[in-house]
Amino acid sequence: MQTKLVTLISALTVVFSSLAMAADDDPNLMLIKARQGDMEIRGFSAGPLFGMAKGDMPYDAEKATKLANNLKLLLQLDMGSAWAADTGNDKYPGKTEALPEIWSTYPKIADAGKEYATAVNELADVAGNGLDALRSKIGGLGDACKGCHDDFREKE
Ligand code: HEC
């Protein structure tokens, strides 16, 4: 009995570790991480801008300009290949929150990306011009992030 159990456990260990190896070798995991990294920097940069606009932290013109420019700089990256087909959460559950609708409704996401780019550029133009100026464009940014997440990102 004991021997059987030990054999079973070591057999399972082999199965799990070979699954893990296959996953680690999968180049799609690297591109998923890359696009998530892009999103993390968006969050890192946009977070304080939302905070200033809401009055949760003091407005700082220099900081607002730099953070909005971070978002603008990210627009320059060509991240297209990080969104390769068949890398949605149907194929990579637990690894990505990207919905298959990104590909099945293409080019809807590209339109969402263009709206986002417009919002970023408009915000970056005025972010350093005072709190009212920041507030006048922050809503457009929030809508652009949320609009795309609503349609194309797994709900938490
Ligand atoms: C055009 C669509 C789109 C726009 C615009 C967009 N996102 Fe995302 N975002 C996504 C998708 C899709 C994912 C899921 C990516 C994945 O898990 O592979 C995501 C994931 C994220 C994540 C989680 C990243 C992780 O580590 O899993 C954060 C944070 C994020 N977005 C922040 C933002 C912020 C902030 C903005 C606006 C400044 C924004 N996003 C704009 C589509 C978008």
Q: Which of 88, 79, 81, 74 is nearest to 44 (CA)?
A: 74
Residue 19 lies in a domain: no
Model confidence at 55: pLDDT above 50: yes
CA torsion sign for 124, 127, 133, 135 is positive
Q: Which residue has the higher pLDDT, 22 or 58?
A: 58
> What is residue 107's predicted lDDT score, i.e. its pLDDT?
97
> What is residue 6's predicted lDDT score, i.e. its pLDDT?
59
> What is residue 120's predicted lDDT score, i.e. its pLDDT?
98
> What is residue 131's predicted lDDT score, i.e. its pLDDT?
98
For residue 19, report the distance from its CA to the centre of ligand 1, in Å: 28
Nearest CA to ligand 1 atom 2: 148
Residue 102 lies in a domain: yes
Give residue 21's pLDDT band: very low, low, confident or very high (50, 70, 90).
Answer: very low
Model confidence at 22: pLDDT above 70: no
For position 51, which CATH number holds?
A: 1.20.120.10
111 CB less than 6 Å from ligand 1?
Answer: no
Question: What is the rounded average pLDDT for all residues in the chain?
Answer: 91
Residue 112 lies in a domain: yes
- Take residue 40 and report the two structure tokens written for it: 């993390």
> What is residue 138's predicted lDDT score, i.e. its pLDDT?
98
Residue 15 lies in a domain: no
pTM for the model stands at 0.88
Nearest CA to ligand 1 atom 30: 39
Count of domains forming the chain: 1
Q: Which tens digit of pLDDT belongs to each residue from 98-138?
A: 999 999 999 999 999 999 999 999 999 999 999 999 999 99
Range of the domain at 125: 27-152
Model confidence at 52: pLDDT above 90: yes
Q: Which residue has the higher pLDDT, 100 or 16?
A: 100
For residue 142, report the distance from its CA to the centre of ligand 1, in Å: 12
Residue 3 lies in a domain: no
Please provide the DSSP assignment of 47-68 as one string.
HHHHHHHHTSS---HHHHHHHH
Model confidence at 24: pLDDT above 90: no
Residue 89 lies in a domain: yes
CA distance 12 to 137: 55
32 CB less than 6 Å from ligand 1?
Answer: yes
Q: Which of 147, 115, 141 is nearest to 43 (CA)?
A: 141
Give residue 25's pLDDT band: very low, low, confident or very high (50, 70, 90).
Answer: confident
